[in-house]
Amino acid sequence: MKIIFYGTRDYDHLYFDVLAADPDYGCTIKFLAANLDPDTAQLAAGGDAVCAFVNSDCGAETLSVLAKAGIKLLLMRCAGYNNVDLAAAKANGITVMRVPGYSPEAVAEHAMALAQAANRRICKAYIKVRNNNFALDGLLGQNFYGACAGIVGTGRIGAAMARICHGFGMNVLCYDMYKNPEVETFARYVSLEELLQKADLVSLHCPLTEGTHHMINKDTIAMMRDSAILVNTSRGGLIDTDALIEALRARKFGGVGLDVYEDEDDQVFQDFSDDVLENEVVPVLLSFPNVVITSHQAFFTRTALQSIAAITLENARAFARGEELKNEVKA
């Protein structure tokens, strides 16, 4: 199998090169720096599969071009697939596979890091000390020990975050349509309304769907405590950005930690340090002293990268051999 790998970064070679050299996987990889979209999809001609990421355009137009180029398999090297038009993939005879559980702990640990950074004003404190300012003004936080954590979505990542919060000595409340037996041993499932009303820390770990789009909005924000910490390491569309900014201006939150945000696709993983951002979301959010934003990096650990590479190539091998496709995503 020949895999056309889109959106290549130097770190992608760390494990994909090693595993692709293993004859058991039976594949070769052509690495492209260009990201996948309708214009670059034709570069997949001559390949059997393409490998894409969270910021790839996997819409109907792109999938149509890929199908005409002979592509039968779309390998998403990530857990999320909200950027894939599954109906169009099915119509074009393209199988979609993903990596559902590369390293839940990597994302959960980053979520807690964001929560702590926002709560204890770590970024602001670092800048102050760099400027020889050791005053504590503006750095007051709150204890997590004995506080209430609200985990929205208790799949693998949400469950990992729940364990971390429990380890911090927090009382853990959870909301999910499907209860996780592992989490129930130390946490309590409640309604979303009760969770938002009681939680001192609200951490989002659910997929982006029509039902969860803007689940954190003006009305649900009003339910939350004024001192609450809000963290999102899932998908930006879970939060209504306009409502979030309005709430921040009203001094609603104790802190906000975001690894994802709305309309990030055109700038995620790119270097704009010598340019001007067209997207105004980040500059506006960063104008608030209690907001911490990172660059969609929650997954970015050595353990996670190795697991992503292994599962992605295992998906390709299973498809090539006609084996059971455990990680297939269906419309």
Tokens of 177: 């349509």
Which is nearest to 244 in space by CA: 205, 297, 290? 290
Q: Is 269 left (phi over 0), alpha (psi -120 to 50) or beta?
A: left
> Residue 185 and residue 226: Cα distance in Å, rounded?
29
The single residue listed with the structure tokens 């500059």 is 283
Distance CA 249, CA 242 (A): 11
User: Are the beta carbons of 216 and 205 closer than 8 angstroms?
Assistant: no
Is 182 a residue of the active site? no
Alpha carbon of residue 201 to chain centroid:
18
Pairing mode, if any, of strands 95-97 and 328-329? antiparallel
Of 116, 134, 114, 112, give the one whose Cα is nearest residue 125.
134
Instruction: Give dist(CA 180, CA 167) in Å, integer.
Output: 18
74 by DSSP, 3-state: which? strand
Residue 192 CA from chain centroid, whole number = 21
What residues does 175 pair with on adjacent strands? 152
Token readout for 323 is: 């084996």
Q: Under 8 Å CB-to-CB from 280, ≥6 apart: which residues?
A: none
Tokens, residue 185: 């041993």
Q: Which of 264, 278, 314, 324 is catalytic?
A: 264
The answer to whether 264 is a known catalytic residue is yes
235 among known catalytic residues: yes
Task: Out of 77, 235, 262, 314, pick the active-site residue.
Answer: 235
Strands (E), the chain: 2-5, 28-31, 49-52, 73-76, 95-97, 148-152, 171-175, 188-189, 201-204, 229-232, 255-258, 291-293, 328-329
Q: Which of 296, 314, 317, 323 is catalytic?
A: 296
Residue written as token pair 């409340």 = 173
Residues with a known catalytic role: 235, 264, 296
